[in-house]
């Protein structure tokens, strides 16, 4: 594909995904301001669409997107697939009815079995054949998910002439095989594939989309861009070396040092310090590499490029920067310390330290590639550095190293570096005076006293060793990235409660002892099923208020003509924008009231999270204007933080504690001192009951996608952690994003329970189902 054609495709995809308005904005992350969460999700989708792939497998692409954008994306995919004859398999959470209607076929999975696979038009017919009917105002997608669940199935039974009996997943799957759609698929699969109908050019024969040179050129251009964007890191490293050079110059000032054996040892220490300083300078590569690995693994597995195309630029492009960094140190310290004044030896030391810097950077990149985790890498990085230094021949001279550890001396890069830099200095003319009583020079004597080789060839051996180690570490780094996978491969996590529920859905029988256990929880679930028709909001608010142990003051929040702006980005100024500030919130007014659940809606990038951050006082940069009052009084952040809570979109919790321990810690730190331990524990129990986590009180939180709590349980824990602070006003940023319809309904029931205690709650939401939408008051 030519450059102009690929540019047109890219612009078209940007337009379709609604990313043209932020095409030149940094993506950002948790620590760097960038595009919104929904826009970031669309960037992931766009990465796949700009390629020539004809088979697309897309997992939950609508998470964090508004309904309009999701519809536009799926509709564009539908047209592309129909015109070009491609294939797309897409999983969605909480799809709107109009988005659901765009699909040709539906595959309904439940507990690992296919319940239905076939045309969308026949799916309701199949479930009516089984005795279940979708209500008129119910979204078909939500109905399909709930109809196979033991907790939600009964409400859809429509055969009045027969008593309801739970239909397990296995029975649905068996019935589908006898349904006319299932029979049609089975008959089609029985026919052998006719190879004559397939053209040899139908399948790709090359692993990557472009040639090796194009791959390398693309990765070099991207690495240059990343280096430009991370220029601060390289400036910081240069400043760090400058400070270290100043310390060394003032410590080893040459007017205080003389050319004799005693001071020769001090000069040797200055050389060792230079080696260590340059070695430590490469330590920053450890963190930078680990932070970039998740993106690399994703792009490697999607066959964007091979590992070598990624590692070569990260090595080669660092070399010019090494000349500057090492030059800062050597050019400022060499003659001030008083090393041998020979120009040739000056440049030989400079060349050797260049090689050491490259070896060090390569070593830490290799450790990061093996560790693949910040904690693991930062454990083995300093350990290797200390081991190399201890066995490098300076801290412990070569003759003093025990024979069972001498192999460590010969494999330590620092031993070769120490020999090379020492022979370069002490075989120089300024160290040629003969020591009285011997026939050896001062330089030779100093070297022999420390067990360092005295032949000039050891400089070149050491330099060659540094180049060899650099090549070896880069080769091993490339090999590691080629064969290893991320440490935290996501796999389904399942709590004990979920396991029991899946067993019941699959077989129609509860696990032994399950009915006796958590009976109170089952009663709550049964009451929930019977109240479904009245919506999520069907909870007695007065009863909730009575049960609260700790009192709070209901407060309202009012904002008038609120504006928020940031300094104009340099990229936009370069395009001719003359304003000094970029206005993100343009005179927004509104109010949130106690006991009223307010939904904050808008397309991705509309400013929902920005508005909540401004109102909650979480914006530390930028310029805020306008009037914000709390129950009529001007808002003061120092006191507002004590009466408000904020549930972030990302559920961040300590993985190695239980739910109860998480809440105890939050309450301990955030409740007033006059609340005694007994009342605090009673309040925590009430909050767990409010968010329906009592049965999971002893469950470990775990790591997302690896073990521990499910996504919706983490959402409820996030809400509970804020509730135990007993706030009057709670902000919730997309509490239903990333959840299916049923899990979202559970979370919204928790939110509704919170509102019914008389608190002021405001949520940002995307793509709400009708049940979730009707749970809101305003």
| Distance separating alpha carbons of residues 39 and 604, to the nearest angstrom | 6
- 51 and 162 housed in the same domain: yes
- 137 and 250 housed in the same domain: no
- 472 and 410 housed in the same domain: yes
pLDDT of residue 574: 76
Among the residue ranges 4-18, 163-177, 252-266, 508-522, the one predicted with the least confidence is 508-522
| Distance separating alpha carbons of residues 110 and 104, to the nearest angstrom | 20
Mean pLDDT on 8-19: 82
First to last CA, the chain: 51
pLDDT of residue 545: 47
Is 560 in a helix, a strand, or coil?
Answer: strand
- 174 and 252 housed in the same domain: no
Residue 508: is its pLDDT beyond 70? Answer: no
Residue 672 lies in a domain: yes
- 179 and 289 housed in the same domain: no
- 620 and 685 housed in the same domain: yes
Residue 289: is its pLDDT beyond 90? Answer: yes
The CA-based angle 174-179-181, given to 5 degrees, is 115
pLDDT tens for residues 553-594? 899 999 999 999 988 877 777 777 778 888 889 989 999 999
| Distance separating alpha carbons of residues 364 and 277, to the nearest angstrom | 15
How many CB atoms are closer than 10 A to CB 323? 12
| Backbone φ, ψ for residue 556 (5° rounding) | -105, 155
Last residue of a domain, one of 158, 190, 222: 190
- 738 and 674 housed in the same domain: yes
Model confidence at 754, pLDDT cuts 50, 70, 90, reads confident
- 647 and 725 housed in the same domain: yes
Model confidence at 371, pLDDT cuts 50, 70, 90, reads very high
Residue 562 lies in a domain: yes
Residue 15 lies in a domain: yes
pLDDT tens for residues 175-207? 999 999 999 998 888 888 777 776 665 666 678
pLDDT of residue 3: 52
465 neighbors 473 (Cβ within 8 angstroms): no
Residue 213 lies in a domain: no
597 neighbors 755 (Cβ within 8 angstroms): yes
487 neighbors 373 (Cβ within 8 angstroms): yes
How many CB atoms are closer than 10 A to CB 545? 14
| Distance separating alpha carbons of residues 704 and 708, to the nearest angstrom | 7
Domain harbouring 729, CATH code = 3.40.50.300
Domain harbouring 119, CATH code = 3.40.50
How many CB atoms are closer than 10 A to CB 586? 11
- 337 and 432 housed in the same domain: yes
| Distance separating alpha carbons of residues 552 and 554, to the nearest angstrom | 6
Residue 165 lies in a domain: yes
- 295 and 379 housed in the same domain: yes
Last residue of a domain, one of 430, 449, 483: 483
Last residue of a domain, one of 161, 190, 219: 190
Residue 126 lies in a domain: yes
pLDDT of residue 86: 84
Measured CA to CA in angstroms, residue 403 lies from 398, 400, 407, 409 at distances of 10, 9, 8, 10
Residue 506 lies in a domain: no
Closest by CA position to 94, among listed 743, 604, 749, 711? 743
659 neighbors 697 (Cβ within 8 angstroms): yes
Q: Which domain holds residue 617?
A: 557-774
Give Cα 726 to chain centroid, integer Å.
30
pTM for the whole structure: 0.72
| Rounded (10°) angle between helices 169-178 and 123-130 | 110
pLDDT of residue 689: 87
Among the residue ranges 92-106, 144-158, 246-260, 745-759, the one predicted with the least confidence is 246-260
Mean pLDDT estimate for the chain = 85
Residue 507 lies in a domain: no
CB neighbour list of residue 519: distance below 8 Å, 6 or more residues apart: none
Domains in the chain, number: 3
**626 against 52, higher pLDDT:** 626
- 579 and 727 housed in the same domain: yes
């Amino acid at each position: 594909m030519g450059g102009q054609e690929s540019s047109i495709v890219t612009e078209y995809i940007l337009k379709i995904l609604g990313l043209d308005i932020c095409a030149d904005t940094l993506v950002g992350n948790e620590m760097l301001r960038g595009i919104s969460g929904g826009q970031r999700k669309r960037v992931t989708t766009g990465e796949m669409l700009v390629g020539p792939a004809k088979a697309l497998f897309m997992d939950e692409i609508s998470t964090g997107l508004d309904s309009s954008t999701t519809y536009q994306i799926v509709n564009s995919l539908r047209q592309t697939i129909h015109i070009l004859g491609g294939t797309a398999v897409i999983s969605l959470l909480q799809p709107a009815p109009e988005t659901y209607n765009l699909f040709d076929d539906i595959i309904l999975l439940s507990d690992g079995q296919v319940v239905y696979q076939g045309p969308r038009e026949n799916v309701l017919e199949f479930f009516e054949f089984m005795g279940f009917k979708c209500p008129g105002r119910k979204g078909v997608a939500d109905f399909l998910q709930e109809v196979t669940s033991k907790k939600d199935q009964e409400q859809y039974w429509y055969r009045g002439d027969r008593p309801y009996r739970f239909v397990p997943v296995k029975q649905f799957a068996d019935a589908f095989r006898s349904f006319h759609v299932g029979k049609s698929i089975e008959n089609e699969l029985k026919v052998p594939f006719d190879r004559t109908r397939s053209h040899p050019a139908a399948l790709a024969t090359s692993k990557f989309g472009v040639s090796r040179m194009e791959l390398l050129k693309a990765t070099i251009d991207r690495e240059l861009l990343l280096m430009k964007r991370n220029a601060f890191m390289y400036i910081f490293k240069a400043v760090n070396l400058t400070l270290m050079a100043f310390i060394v110059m003032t410590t080893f000032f040459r007017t205080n040092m003389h050319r004799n054996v005693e001071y020769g040892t001090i000069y040797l220490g200055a050389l060792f310090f230079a080696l260590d300083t340059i070695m430590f300078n490469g330590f920053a590569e450890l963190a930078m590499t680990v932070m970039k690995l998740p993106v690399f693994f994703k792009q490697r597995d999607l066959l964007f490029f091979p590992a070598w195309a990624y590692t070569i630029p990260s090595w080669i492009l660092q070399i010019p920067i090494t000349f500057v960094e090492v030059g800062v140190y050597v050019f400022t310290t060499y003659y001030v310390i008083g090393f041998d004044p020979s120009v040739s030896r000056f440049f030989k030391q400079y060349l050797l330290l260049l090689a050491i810097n490259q070896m060090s950077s390569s070593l830490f990149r290799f450790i990061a590639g093996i560790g693949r985790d910040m904690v693991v890498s930062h454990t083995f990085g300093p350990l290797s550095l200390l081991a190399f230094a201890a066995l490098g021949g300076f801290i412990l001279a070569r003759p003093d190293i025990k024979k069972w550890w001498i192999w460590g001396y010969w494999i330590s890069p620092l031993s070769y570096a120490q020999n090379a830099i020492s022979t370069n200095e002490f075989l120089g003319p300024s160290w040629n005076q003969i020591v009285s009583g011997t026939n050896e020079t001062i330089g030779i004597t100093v070297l022999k006293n420390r067990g360092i080789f005295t032949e000039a060839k050891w400089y070149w051996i050491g330099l060659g060793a540094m180049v060899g180690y650099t090549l070896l570490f880069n080769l091993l780094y490339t090999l590691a990235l080629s064969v290893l996978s991320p440490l935290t491969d996501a796999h389904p996590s399942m709590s004990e409660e979920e396991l029991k529920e899946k067993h019941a859905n699959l077989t129609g029988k509860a696990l032994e002892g399950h009915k006796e256990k958590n009976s109170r929880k089952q009663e709550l679930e049964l009451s929930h099923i019977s109240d479904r028709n009245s919506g999520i909001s069907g909870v007695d608010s007065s009863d909730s208020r009575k049960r609260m142990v700790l009192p709070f003051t209901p407060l309202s929040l009012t904002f008038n003509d609120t504006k928020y702006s940031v300094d104009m980005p340099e990229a936009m100024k370069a395009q001719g924008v003359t304003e000094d500030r970029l206005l993100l919130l343009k005179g927004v007014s509104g109010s949130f009231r106690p006991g009223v659940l307010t939904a904050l809606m808008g397309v991705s990038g509309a400013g929902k999270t920005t508005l909540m951050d401004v109102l909650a006082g979480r914006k530390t940069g930028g310029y805020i204007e306008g009037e914000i009052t709390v129950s009529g009084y001007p808002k003061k952040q120092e006191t507002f933080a004590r009466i408000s809570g904020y549930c972030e979109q990302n559920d961040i919790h300590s993985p190695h504690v239980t739910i109860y321990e998480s809440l105890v810690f939050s309450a301990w730190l955030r409740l007033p001192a006059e609340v005694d331990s007994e009342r605090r524990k009673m309040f925590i129990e009430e909050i767990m009951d409010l968010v329906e986590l009592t049965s999971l009180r002893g469950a470990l939180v775990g790591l997302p996608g690896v073990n521990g709590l499910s996504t919706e349980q983490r959402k409820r824990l996030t809400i509970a952690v804020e509730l135990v602070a007993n706030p009057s006003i709670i902000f919730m940023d997309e509490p239903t994003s990333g959840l299916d319809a049923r899990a979202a309904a559970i979370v919204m029931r928790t939110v509704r329970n919170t509102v019914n205690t008389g608190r002021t709650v405001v949520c940002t939401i995307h793509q709400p189902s009708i049940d979730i939408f009707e749970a809101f008051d305003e």
